[in-house]
Amino acid sequence: MEVNDLESARRAGKQFGYPLMVKSKRLAYDGRGNAVAKSEEELSSAIT
């Protein structure tokens, strides 16, 4: 699922549940650009 902002990340959390693995579209290799959101409260830091 493509996530472009915090609201679409919240929708993904509701659809798939937590934890969510958030991956960067660019320069994401060897774990770089990836973050785990264990709850809705952690989403904003995971997508920035």
CATH classification at residue 31: 3.30.1490.20
- Distances, alpha carbon 46 to alpha carbons 12, 29, 35, 36, 39, in Å: 13, 16, 5, 6, 10
Domain total in the chain: 1
Query: Is 19 contained in some domain?
Result: yes
Q: How many residues does the chain have?
A: 48
Q: Are 16 and 22 in contact (CB under 8 A)?
A: no
Query: Is 42 contained in some domain?
Result: yes
The whole domain housing 31 covers 6-47
Using DSSP's 3-state secondary structure scheme, residue 23 falls into strand
Query: Is 1 contained in some domain?
Result: no
Structure token pair of residue 12: 């993904």
Question: pLDDT tens digit string along 7-43?
Answer: 999 999 999 999 999 988 777 677 778 899 999 999 9
Q: What is the pTM of this model?
A: 0.76
Structure token pair of residue 18: 């937590």
